[in-house]
Copies of this chain bind each other. A is one copy, B any other.
């Protein structure tokens, strides 16, 4: 039986968080499921919509659950039905995983409490509000939790996950098929590499949105502390 990987998909997700690992896992022969409340198309952040292959009602189990990130993560974090779905699938999955700010959703579902984990560099410290231990690595393994950093870290995450699932050679074959021998033509892919001036420019350009997102994360953490999930 091929490994079943269930991705939660949701409006305004950062599509590459999900499409990058999905590609490597599909090359590795995994069955990819994409679950949402309905099978209506979901608008991503990149001008196109994806059609969920299943629903959270129909998909109750998977070998791997993976949660992508994106601006839409905040609505997911405030939706107990979705958080309970994540918890439910996680209960029997061999690996419970996320890319980018998907780790905030895992955190809100109570699945990172006491675990080392990562997230997009701007949001990494905020997973602490859900009991996680922010860890500055591109892919973080802690027991059966695997979390990837921001967006494109989904490729390194997907390859590491495929190796964990199938072993080294199948993962290498997927890497070769996907020609994953990156040579970025620019060198600004992390705060350290980009330097403080560029980081300041990015932060200034999105300061208002970022503050609103942090406020939502803090409100969600407070809400879940006052009213823990009962599922």
Contact = CB atoms under 8 A, between A and B. Distances in A.
Contacts of A22: 15, 46-48
A49 B185 CA distance: 31
Number of copies of this protein chain within its complex: 2
Interface stretch (A72-80, A105-113, A168-176, A216-224): A168-176
Contacts of A16: 19-20, 23, 178
Interface in A44-79: 45-53
A178 B152 contact: yes
A50 B49 contact: yes
Nearest to A205: B173
Nearest to A189: B181
A147 interface: no
A175 B168 contact: no
Interface in A101-150: 120-121, 138-139, 149-150
A153 to B, nearest CB: 6
B184 A168 contact: no
B151 A177 contact: yes
Contact of A150 (B48, B172, B178, B191): B178
The 5 closest A-B pairs by CB, nearest first: A181-B189, A150-B179, A32-B47, A172-B188, A16-B23
Interface of A: 9, 14-16, 19-20, 22-23, 25-26, 31-34, 41, 45-53, 100, 120-121, 138-139, 149-153, 155-156, 159-160, 163, 168-169, 171-173, 175-186, 188-191, 193-194, 198-199, 201-202, 205
23 contacts: A14-B23, A15-B19, A16-B178, A23-B45, A32-B46, A41-B51, A48-B50, A48-B51, A51-B51, A121-B179, A150-B177, A151-B178, A152-B179, A156-B185, A173-B198, A175-B189, A176-B190, A176-B194, A176-B198, A178-B189, A179-B189, A181-B190, A182-B189
